[in-house]
Amino acid sequence: MIDIHSHFFPCISAATAEAANPGRAPWLRIDDDGEIGQIMVGDKPFRPVYRSLWDPQFRLQEMDQHGIDIQVNCATPIMFGYAWDAQLAADWAARMNEEALAFAAADPRRLKVLSQVPLQDVKLACAEASRAQKAGCIGVQIGNHAGDRDLDHPDMVDFLIHCANEGIPVFVHPWDMMGGKERMRQWMLPWLVAMPAETQLGMLSLILSGALERIPESLKICFAHGGGSFAYTLGRVDNAWRHRDIVRQDCPRPPSEYARRLYVDSAVFDEGALKLLVDVMGVGHVMLGSDQPFPLGEQEVGALVRGAGFLSAPQRDRILGANAVEFFGL
Ligand SMILES: [Zn+2]
């Protein structure tokens, strides 16, 4: 079993964060027992976490419990630094990527890592993606936007073309959610409502802008959380494309035709949703993703896919591992 969506956060001290970017670089406060901790930004708690996030030996034990052979880890999105000065963020990204490789070094056959890049600067982002790939990362994780720039922005498209040309697989994670400050203050609504919308926005930005017409077909690009709202609302998008010229103007083909260019993980937590996802994306374009070790992840990794009655055994094997082998070239 290969899990392509899990997160790590390195043991960054308050002093290290303060030296990197005062008040803005995140760090990790670990409680005295070493079992739980808190991601911090400045002196503000961001998220309670536990040992699996930073301790690769502990993670490997958890993988054994879940029957996970290989796990692909990426930065916790608060590590991105997209709003920082670009050079500062580039130095930080390089440092975080070395931390990621150090995490994987506990067992390089089973722990794989994606790089992070300073996405606010396309030249620096391309350079770091290539450097980190040569250093041992198996792909790059990006947020679905950097400030006001979505994936259709010319710089973002240039970055994706670079990744296609260099054979660097891309994993897109939603972050910095819309509407979070005022209208979605409670009940984790930014994660439940805005996050799926951010992911869908990323996918539709690529499709409706015609960017996928310019990006080589060799690009391997996967979206987190089953593509968020994408699959469920694709019929609405196709209908809009057929009946409104402003939806068609940059997108020469029906939006659903582009779904075969995109990949998603399986983190949808519902068999009906997984069936729709497989129907829309194709069984070869869905990969097991747990979103461990966070509470919103699949708590028994692989249970949804293993228990999905509509999948044949070969289809199940594809989602649980074979698709990831092809996608990442493992
Ligand atoms: Zn995640």
| Confidence bin at 182 (pLDDT 50/70/90) | confident
| Confidence bin at 61 (pLDDT 50/70/90) | very high
**Residue 135 pLDDT more than 80?**
yes
Q: What is the pTM of this model?
A: 0.98
291 C-alpha vs ligand 1 centroid, how far in Å?
Answer: 5
Work out the percent of the chain whose per-residue pLDDT is above 70: 100
| Confidence bin at 264 (pLDDT 50/70/90) | very high
Q: Which of 258, 267, 280, 172 is nearest to 213 (CA)?
A: 258
140 C-alpha vs ligand 1 centroid, how far in Å?
Answer: 14
**Residue 215 pLDDT more than 80?**
yes
Report all structural domains of the chain as residue ranges with CATH numbers, in order of start: 2-328 (3.20.20.140)
Q: Tell me the backbone φ, ψ of residue 312, rounded to 5 degrees.
A: -75, 165
CA distance linking residue 53 with residue 45, whole number of Å: 16
Token code pair at residue 36: 């739980």
Q: What is the mean pLDDT of residues 135-157?
A: 98
258 C-alpha vs ligand 1 centroid, how far in Å?
Answer: 24
74 C-alpha vs ligand 1 centroid, how far in Å?
Answer: 8
Q: Tell me the backbone φ, ψ of residue 41, rounded to 5 degrees.
A: -125, 115
- 70-118 per-position pLDDT tens digit: 999 999 999 999 999 999 999 999 999 999 999 999 999 999 999 999 9
* End-to-end Cα separation, the chain, in angstroms: 13
Which residue type, as a one-letter code, is found at position 78? I
CB 120 within 8 A of CB 147: yes
Which residue type, as a one-letter code, is found at position 54? W
Peptide bond into 252 cis (omega under 30): no
Model pLDDT, residue 181: 77
**Residue 179 pLDDT more than 90?**
no
**Residue 304: C-alpha distances to residues 59, 92, 259 (Å):** 21, 36, 22
CB 151 within 8 A of CB 168: no
Task: Please name the residues in contact with 109: beta carbons below 8 A apart, sequence gap of 6 or more.
Answer: 70
Computed over every residue of the chain, the mean pLDDT equals 97
**Residue 22 pLDDT more than 80?**
yes
223 C-alpha vs ligand 1 centroid, how far in Å?
Answer: 10
